[in-house]
A and B are shown apart, each in its own frame.
Chain A
Amino acid sequence: MNLTLFLLALFDGIAYAALVFIVAVGLTLIFGVMRILNVAHGSLYAMGAYLTASLTTFIVAAGLPPIFAFPCMLVSAVLIGAVIGGPLEWLLLRRIYHKPEVLQLLVTFAIFMILEDVQRLVWGTQPIFQSAALQLLGNVRVFSVNYTVYQLILLPMVAVALLLGLRFFLRRTVAGKLIVATTEDREAAQAIGIDADKVFLLTFIVGAGLAGLGGALASPTTSILPGIGADMIVLSFAVVATAGLGQIEGAALTALLIGLGRSFAVYVWPETQVLVPYLIMVAVLLVRPEGLFGSPAARKI
Chain B
Amino acid sequence: MFIRITIPTLLLMVLALVPFVAPGMQVLLTLALAKGIAVMGITVLLRSGQVSFGHALYFAIAAYGGAFTLMLMPGADLIVVFVFGIIAAVLSGIIVGLFVARYRFIFFAMLNLAFSMIFWSILEKFYHYTGGADGMRLPRPTVMWIELERGAYELVMFYLALALALGLGWFSMRWLDSPTGQLFRTIKTNETRLQYLGMSPQRVMLTGYVLSALLCGVGGIIMGLVQGVVTPEYAFWVRSGEMVFIAVLGGAGSVPGALVGAAIYEIVRTYASAFAGDIWQLVLGTFLLIIILFAPGGIAGIYSGVMDRIAGKKEEGE
Contact = CB atoms under 8 A, between A and B. Distances in A.
Direct A/B contact, Cβ within 8 angstroms: yes
Contacts of A113: 241, 245, 281-282, 284-285, 288
Contacts of A281: 114
Contacts of B46: 102
A120 B109 contact: no
B51 interface: yes
A278 B114 contact: yes
Contacts of B285: 110-114, 117
A101 B105 contact: yes
Contacts of A112: 285
B278 A275 contact: no
Contacts of B28: none
Contact of B280 (A110, A111, A117): A117
Given A114-B286, A237-B110, A271-B126, A106 B281 contact: no
- Tell me the dominant secondary structure on chain A's binding face: helix
A66 interface: no
A102 B288 contact: no
A206 B99 CA distance: 34
Contacts of B241: 109, 113
Contacts of B122: 275
B113 A121 contact: no
Contact of B289 (A39, A92, A230): A92
A95 B289 CA distance: 11
A137 interface: no
B51 A106 contact: yes
A8 B107 CA distance: 34
A116 interface: yes
A34 to B, nearest CB: 12
Nearest to A291: B107
Nearest to A231: B117
A120 B46 CA distance: 31
Interface string A86-126: 00000010010000111101110111111011101100000
A238 B109 contact: no
A68 to B, nearest CB: 32
B279 interface: yes
A299 B281 contact: no
Nearest to A107: B292
Given A92-B289, A106-B288, A106-B292, A289 B103 contact: yes
A301 B106 contact: no
A250 B113 CA distance: 22
Residue of A101, A121, A289 ringed by the most chain B CB atoms within 10 A: A101
**Interface size class of chain B, counting residues whose CB lies under 8 Å from the partner chain:** 35 or more
Contacts of A61: none
B289 A107 contact: yes
B244 interface: yes
Given A118-B282, A245-B106, A100 B192 contact: no
A289 B102 contact: yes
Contact of B281 (A102, A117, A238): A117
A234 interface: yes
B66 to A, nearest CB: 24
A29 interface: no
A121 B277 CA distance: 11
B109 A241 contact: no
B125 interface: yes
A107 B53 CA distance: 13
B114 A110 contact: no
A160 B109 CA distance: 31
A286 B99 contact: yes
Contacts of B102: 289
Interface in B234-260: 237, 241, 244-245, 248, 252
A37 interface: yes
Given A117-B278, A121-B278, A234 B244 contact: no
A92 B286 CA distance: 12
A114 B281 contact: yes
A274 B125 contact: yes
B92 interface: no
Contact of A275 (B49, B121, B279): B121
B50 interface: yes
A121 B245 CA distance: 21
B23 to A, nearest CB: 34
A245 B104 CA distance: 13
B21 interface: no
Interface in B58-117: 99, 102-103, 105-107, 109-111, 113-115, 117
Nearest to B107: A241
A196 interface: no
Nearest to B191: A299
Given A117-B278, A286-B99, A237 B292 contact: no
Nearest to B124: A274
Interface in A107-163: 107, 109-114, 116-118, 120-121
A180 interface: no
28 contacts: A101-B105, A102-B50, A102-B105, A103-B296, A105-B109, A106-B248, A106-B292, A109-B53, A109-B288, A110-B292, A113-B241, A113-B245, A113-B281, A113-B284, A114-B285, A114-B286, A117-B285, A121-B278, A237-B110, A237-B114, A271-B125, A271-B126, A274-B118, A275-B121, A278-B114, A281-B114, A289-B103, A301-B192
List the 7 closest A-B pairs by CB distance, nearest first: A113-B285, A114-B285, A117-B282, A110-B288, A274-B121, A110-B285, A101-B105
